[in-house]
Amino acid sequence: MKRVLRYFPGAGLLLLLGGYLYYAIRSDWSVAAQVMVYAGAALLVFSLFWQWEEIQKSFHRRAIKYGSVTGGVILILAGILALVNFLGFRHSKRFDLTENQLFSLSDQSRKIAQNLKQDVTVTGFFKKVNSGPFADLMEGYRAASKRLHYAVVDPQTDPAKARELGVQKFGDVVVASGAKKERIESTEEEAITNAIIKVTREKNKIFYYLTGHGERDMNSSEGTGFAMARQKLEGQNYEVKVLTLATQKTVPGDASAVLIVGPRFALLAPEVDALQNYVNQGGKVLLLIDPETKPELDSFLKPKGIELDDDVVLDVSGIGQLFGMGPAVPLVSHYEGHAITDGFEGTMAFFPFSRSLSNPAASEQGFSAQVILKTNQDSWGETTELKSGTAKFDRGKDKEGPLNLAMVAIRRTDVTKQARVVVVGDSDFASNAYFGGQRNGDLFLNAASWLAEDIDLMAIRPRSPQARRITMTVPEANFLFYMAVILMPGVALVWGVAVWWKRRG
Let me know whether 267 and 376 are in one domain.
yes
Is residue 346 scored above 60 in pLDDT?
yes
Is residue 70 scored above 70 in pLDDT?
no
Does residue 477 or residue 281 have the better pLDDT?
A: 281
Let me know whether 313 and 274 are in one domain.
yes
Let me know whether 358 and 502 are in one domain.
no
Let me know whether 269 and 219 are in one domain.
yes
Q: Which of 195, 213, 234 is the last residue of a domain?
A: 195
Let me know whether 501 and 445 are in one domain.
no
Pairing of strands 173-177, 180-184: antiparallel
* Summary mean pLDDT of the chain: 81
What pLDDT digit, counting tens, does each position of 221-241 carry? Answer: 999 999 999 999 998 889 999
- Domain interval for residue 292: 204-457
Q: Could you give the CA distance from residue 293 to residue 226 in angstroms, rounded to a whole number? A: 19
Let me know whether 85 and 134 are in one domain.
no
Does residue 120 or residue 31 have the better pLDDT?
A: 120
Does residue 166 or residue 410 have the better pLDDT?
A: 410
Pairing of strands 255-261, 205-210: parallel
Let me know whether 191 and 214 are in one domain.
no
pLDDT bucket at 158, cuts 50 / 70 / 90:
confident
Residue 102 lies in a domain: no
Residue 330 lies in a domain: yes
Q: Could you give the CA distance from residue 261 to residue 351 in angstroms, rounded to a whole number? A: 14
Is residue 89 scored above 60 in pLDDT?
no
Residue 387 lies in a domain: yes
Reference 227, options 211, 216, 236; nearest CA is 216
Let me know whether 113 and 66 are in one domain.
no
- pLDDT at residue 72 in the model: 54
Residue 95 lies in a domain: no
Let me know whether 438 and 495 are in one domain.
no
| CATH number of the domain bearing residue 378 | 3.40.50
Residue 96's φ and ψ, nearest 5 degrees, are: -105, 110
Q: What is the CA angle 195-173-159, rounded to 5?
A: 140
What pLDDT digit, counting tens, does each position of 408-439 carry? Answer: 999 988 777 899 999 999 999 999 999 988 88
Residues ≥6 apart with Cβ < 8 Å to 345 = 334, 335
Let me know whether 169 and 47 are in one domain.
no
- pLDDT at residue 175 in the model: 93
Residue 464 lies in a domain: no
Q: Could you give the CA distance from residue 251 to residue 207 in angstroms, rounded to a whole number? A: 11
Residue 101 lies in a domain: no
Residue 29 lies in a domain: yes
Residues ≥6 apart with Cβ < 8 Å to 244 = 210, 211, 212
pLDDT bucket at 258, cuts 50 / 70 / 90:
very high
- Average pLDDT of the segment spanning 132-156: 87
Is residue 295 scored above 70 in pLDDT?
yes
Asked whether the beta carbons of 225 and 202 are under 8 A apart, the reply is no
pLDDT bucket at 137, cuts 50 / 70 / 90:
confident
Let me know whether 489 and 382 are in one domain.
no
User: Among 86-95, 151-160, 397-406, where is mean pLDDT lowest?
Assistant: 86-95
Residues ≥6 apart with Cβ < 8 Å to 174 = 122, 123, 125, 165, 166, 167, 181, 182, 183, 184
Let me know whether 339 and 281 are in one domain.
yes
- Average pLDDT of the segment spanning 109-124: 89
User: Among 39-53, 192-206, 253-267, 306-320, where is mean pLDDT lowest?
Assistant: 39-53
Residue 283 lies in a domain: yes
Q: How many domains does the chain have?
A: 4
